[in-house]
Homo-oligomer: A and B are copies of this chain.
Amino acid sequence: MRELELIAELERTLAPGGADVLRGLGDDAALVRAGAYAVTSVDTMVDGIHFRRGQLEPEEIGHRALAGALSDLAAMAVRPGQAYMALGLPQDSELRDAVALAEGAQALASELGVAIAGGDVTRALSLTVSFTVVGWTDDPGELVGRDGAKPGDLVAVTGTLGGAGAGLALLDGRARAQGTLDARAALGLRERYARPRPRLAEGVALSSLGARAMIDLSDGLATDAQHLAMRSGVRIEVSLARLPLADGVAAVAEQLETDGATFGATAGEDYELCACLPPSAERLARRDGLALSWIGRVLAGPPEVAFTDAAEPLSGYEHSL
């Protein structure tokens, strides 16, 4: 592949959108109009470790890498402005695959109003896609860290869990769809793995509901809730019976000799959000039509996450309806 040809193609593909990008690709650095505060995160995906080239289309690899990075901004409750792509290409890469990867990222970026304003292409031993993403805020008080959970808070998650892990099990051949899942559910699970959606709107909505601590579920609920517990210095109790499982997860989990809830609590890469909020948020979420699952509560105690089977209501509110 000729490097200059690739760079020219990438510059055509990653057309800098947005009036805030004064200089985009093609110079030593990008120039972008800033807000008062920058919120910045970096996320890297490597072939053979975070995905396998044979299992995903190049467009999906690009989409997924950008989505994973943007998910960190969602977890801070900030809207993304720009993204910078560092692409490491092995020697056997095809020009059209590299361009398709960029197209997949650009399609997601366009949809979300993000400008891919710069980047870097190098040779690498394995396909590596790293995105640095930047959001802007004028009020850092609206951001949500990992460290603010308080005893008495409830724990909520967006969307459904286990879908990406189940999709990967199907791609890996560790589970099979035939005879256990209808075609639509199988396709849905693959899509959850291949094209995750960063929960940007939900992150901002959770902040406005008073979320005190928040994280995106990249490593799986069990691991990620542990980060909230450690950073906030609290005990988190999660009810396995309350986990919102994606369609088909139970059937896949069974083939992996576990149950759906355990699978949903430990499988990663769903990129849903997990937040700790005061109990009053439950009513506000309902009022605003924000679909959340209330899965646990925050308690005083040594920082750890405990899973229970209890399915009783978490707060008095549900009874008072």
- CB within 8 Å of B: which residues of A? 22-23, 26-46, 48-50, 72-73, 75-76, 78, 82, 84-86, 88, 117-120, 122-126, 128, 130, 132, 134-136, 140, 143, 145-147, 214-216, 231
Cα–Cα distance between A189 and B143 once the two chains are bound (Å):
48
The answer to whether A72 and B37 touch (CB under 8 A), given A46-B122, A125-B46, A130-B130, is no
Q: Which of B30, B43, B78, B231 contacts A41 (CB 8 A)?
A: B30
CB distance from A49 to the nearest CB of B (A): 5
Across-interface contacts of A119 in B (CB, < 8 A): 42
Question: Which one, B49, B72, B215, contacts A123 given CB within 8 A?
Answer: B49
A134 touches B38 (CB 8 A): yes
Which one of B36, B126, B143 lies within 8 Å of A33 (CB-CB)? B36
Are B88 and A128 closer than 8 Å at their CB atoms?
yes
| A23 partner residues in chain B, CB cutoff 8 A | 143, 145
Q: Taking CB as reference atom, which chain B residue is nearest A35?
A: B34
A134 engages B40 (CB within 8 Å): yes
Q: Does the CB pair A42–B124 fall under 8 Å?
A: no
Is the beta-carbon distance between B117 and A40 smaller than 8 angstroms? yes
- Copies of this chain in its oligomeric complex: 2
A153 CB to nearest B CB, Å: 18
List 22 contacting pairs A-B, 8 Å CB cutoff, sorted by A.
A26-B231, A28-B145, A28-B146, A29-B39, A29-B40, A29-B76, A32-B38, A33-B37, A33-B38, A34-B34, A34-B35, A34-B36, A40-B82, A40-B117, A42-B86, A42-B130, A44-B86, A46-B122, A46-B123, A49-B123, A130-B130, A132-B132
Closest B residue, CB atoms, query A39: B29
Q: What chain B residues lie within 8 Å of A39 (beta carbons)?
A: 29-32
Q: Which among A48, A128, A216 has the greatest number of chain B C-beta atoms within 10 A?
A: A128
> Which residues of chain B are near A27, meaning CB under 8 Å?
76, 145-147, 231
Of the candidates B28, B75, B122, which one forms a contact with A215 in the assembled complex, judged by CB atoms under 8 Å apart? B28
List 8 extra interface pairs beyond A33-B36, A46-B88, CB under 8 A.
Answer: A26-B231, A27-B76, A27-B146, A28-B214, A29-B76, A33-B37, A44-B120, A125-B125
| B76 and A216 contacting across the interface, CB-CB below 8 Å | no
Given contacts A84-B132, A125-B126, is CB(A29)–CB(B41) below 8 Å? yes
Partner of A78, one of B29, B35, B215: B29
